[in-house]
């Protein structure tokens, strides 16, 4: 193997740059050439790529976002788009591809491998942490830290004004960010798509707290459950409490990555290169119980990541 390529795809996540750096440096360390593909699969199709050297990834480890830019490519989902990408594989002599992204990106990579045989390695980079086959994805830890910081700040003003706050966090169809941030932020209720809830119970808990002299309440809602505004409307209607809604939105995707994400990104990026060099055809890098592992991409994609029920129960029991 002489030349590999690398792209970031889907929603960006803090730590992607550290991973790009690790892939590029590890590859160069082993004497490989690396092409950096810009704007995800769109750049793959449009030949928007450049040779990377050690300097290309200097001074980026601590930066959020992705220097390669990213996109969700509809064109790559078509056979025509992938055929164009394959022309670039031949034109640039690419012998392996590292895709840093989420499940949609891995699906695209897997189909491309099936059609054209190019070895592909997926590195999970998404704040949602919704990829089976790995305990953690790059960016999740930072996003949770960002959300917890926001919750603490909101708690200050919630207490001063004796208000109930609904805080909507990202996570797409899953509640991993909500559960972790809600637990760490001491939320009174955490609503996640994986666990049923009812508004009567939530309101009763709020009322009980109020009777005990509680001055504020925080309810963390995963975006996959319902819009925070709708949840706020229902809670306000049923309790009569002064209720405000904050949607954290895209600020969860930015910022300097946590040390945990920087280390994870560096380890995963380096392993992706090792896997290509060892002849892997379509693996995803993961982390299990602290160890970096490789799983077949399709096997990971065929599973649904389960939420930690012990953590769910803990959150309930701590928020009486
Ligand atoms: O997958 C990452 C994510 O931030 C999700 O949490 C969210 O639902 C989605 O991307 C938002 O996508 P966009 O940036 O396209 O609005």
Where residue 239 sits, what CATH number does that domain have? 3.40.50.460
Say if residue 11 carries a ligand binding annotation: yes
Residues 151 and 243 in one domain: yes
Residue 319 belongs to some domain of the structure:
no
Mean pLDDT throughout 40-46?
98
Whether the CB of 16 sits within 6 Å of ligand 1? no
Give the pLDDT band (50/70/90) at residue 289.
very high
Residue 306 belongs to some domain of the structure:
no
ipTM of the complex: 0.98
Best residue among 128, 138, 175 to mutate for probing ligand 1's pocket (most ligand atoms within 8 Å of CB) is 128
Give the pLDDT band (50/70/90) at residue 319.
confident
Residues 111 and 125 in one domain: yes
pLDDT at 16 over 80: yes
Q: Give the predicted TM-score (pTM) of the model.
A: 0.97
Total domains, the chain:
2
Residues 192 and 64 in one domain: no
What pLDDT, on the 0 to 100 scale, is given for residue 168?
98
Best residue among 8, 10, 11 to mutate for probing ligand 1's pocket (most ligand atoms within 8 Å of CB) is 11
Residues 273 and 240 in one domain: no
Which structural domain, as residue segments, surrounds residue 203?
A: 142-253
Residue 99 belongs to some domain of the structure:
yes
Mean pLDDT throughout 37-47?
98
65-102, pLDDT tens digit by residue? 999 999 999 999 999 999 999 999 999 999 999 999 99
**The ligand 1 atom nearest the CA atom of 252:** 4
Residues 207 and 95 in one domain: no
Residue 20 belongs to some domain of the structure:
yes
What pLDDT, on the 0 to 100 scale, is given for residue 215?
82
Alpha carbon separation from 269 to 23, 63, 101, 250, 297 (Å, rounded): 5, 16, 12, 24, 16
pLDDT at 320 over 80: no
Residue 130 belongs to some domain of the structure:
yes
Residues 127 and 269 in one domain: yes
Residue 236 belongs to some domain of the structure:
yes
Residues 230 and 97 in one domain: no
Mean pLDDT score of the chain? 97
């Amino acid at each position: 193997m002489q030349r590999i390529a690398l792209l970031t795809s889907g929603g960006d996540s803090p730590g992607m740059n550290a991973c790009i750096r690790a892939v590029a440096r590890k590859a160069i360390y082993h004497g490989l050439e690396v092409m950096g593909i810009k704007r995800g699969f769109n750049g793959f199709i449009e030949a928007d790529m450049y040779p990377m050297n050690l300097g290309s990834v200097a001074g980026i480890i601590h930066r959020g976002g992705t220097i390669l830019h990213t996109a969700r490519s509809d064109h790559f989902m078509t056979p025509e788009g992938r055929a164009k990408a394959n022309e670039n594989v031949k034109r640039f002599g690419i012998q392996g591809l590292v895709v840093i992204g989420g499940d949609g990106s891995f699906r695209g990579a897997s189909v491309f491998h099936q059609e054209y045989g190019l070895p592909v390695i997926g590195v999970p980079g998404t704040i949602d942490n919704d990829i089976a086959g790995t305990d953690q994805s790059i960016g999740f830890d930072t996003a949770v830290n960002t959300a917890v910081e926001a919750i603490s700040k909101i708690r200050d003003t919630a207490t001063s004004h004796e208000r109930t706050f609904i805080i909507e966090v990202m996570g797409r169809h899953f509640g991993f960010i909500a559960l972790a941030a809600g637990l760490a932020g001491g939320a009174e209720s955490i609503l996640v798509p994986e666990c049923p809830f009812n508004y009567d119970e939530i309101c009763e808990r709020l009322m009980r707290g109020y009777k005990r002299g509680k001055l504020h309440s925080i309810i963390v809602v995963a975006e996959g459950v319902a819009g925070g505004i709708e949840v706020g409307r229902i809670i306000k209607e049923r309790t009569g409490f002064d209720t405000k809604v904050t949607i954290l939105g895209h600020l969860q995707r930015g910022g300097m990555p946590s040390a945990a994400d920087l280390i994870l990104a560096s380890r995963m990026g380096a392993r992706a290169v090792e896997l290509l060099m060892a002849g892997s055809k379509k693996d995803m890098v993961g982390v299990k119980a602290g160890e970096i592992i490789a799983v077949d991409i399709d096997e990971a994609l065929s599973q649904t990541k389960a939420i930690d029920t012990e953590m769910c129960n803990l959150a309930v029991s701590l928020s009486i």
